[in-house]
């Protein structure tokens, strides 16, 4: 596996988290592209450093969102945004190193958050256009 920091995905994740997930400490979330996976059907993953490791090395929780380039890059932009939302939804409000599971991170909930995201972007664009 090869990993590289994904600045473009990071910028989208930053924007989404500010709009939809204010509990996320985005400075402690990093987005990476990976290539060379042998897993089947996975598009992205959310990784966290567990509490015991946080305590052992004396840091607060950090999360890594990994986007498997072989699959993620084939998606259209809308689906890519939904995948980013999906991965951010795994981060709990406690931001302590745990995860929200797929009983909460469902397609229905992702789609609801995506619609909210689109509406906020639309409203911001209208506001920006009004001031021009």
pLDDT score of 38? 79
pLDDT score of 17? 97
Query: What letter would DSSP give residue 26?
Result: G
Cα dihedral sign, 46-91-117-112? positive
Q: What is the pLDDT of residues 26-75, one digit of tens each?
A: 999 999 999 988 788 899 999 998 889 999 999 999 999 999 999 999 99
What percent of the chain shows pLDDT beyond 70? 96
H/E element, 29: strand 29-35
Contact 64, 11 (CB under 8 A): no
User: Which of the four pLDDT bands, split at 50, 70 and 90, describes residue 129?
Assistant: low
Contact 32, 64 (CB under 8 A): yes
Catalogue all structural domains in the chain, each as residue range(s) with its CATH number: 2-131 (3.30.2010)
Query: What letter would DSSP give residue 67?
Result: E
């Amino acid at each position: 596996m090869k990993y590289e920091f994904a600045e473009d995905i990071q910028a989208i994740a930053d924007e989404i988290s500010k709009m939809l997930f204010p509990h996320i400490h985005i400075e402690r979330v990093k987005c990476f592209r990976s290539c060379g996976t042998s897993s089947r059907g996975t598009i992205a993953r959310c990784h966290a450093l567990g509490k015991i490791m946080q305590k052992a090395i004396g840091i607060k929780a950090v999360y890594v969102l990994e986007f498997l380039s072989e699959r993620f890059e084939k998606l259209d932009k809308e689906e890519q945004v939904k995948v980013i939302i999906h991965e951010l939804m795994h981060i709990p409000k406690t931001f302590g190193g745990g995860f929200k599971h797929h009983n909460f991170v469902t397609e229905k909930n992702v789609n609801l958050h995506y619609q909210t995201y689109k509406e906020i972007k639309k409203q911001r664009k209208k506001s920006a256009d009004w001031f021009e």
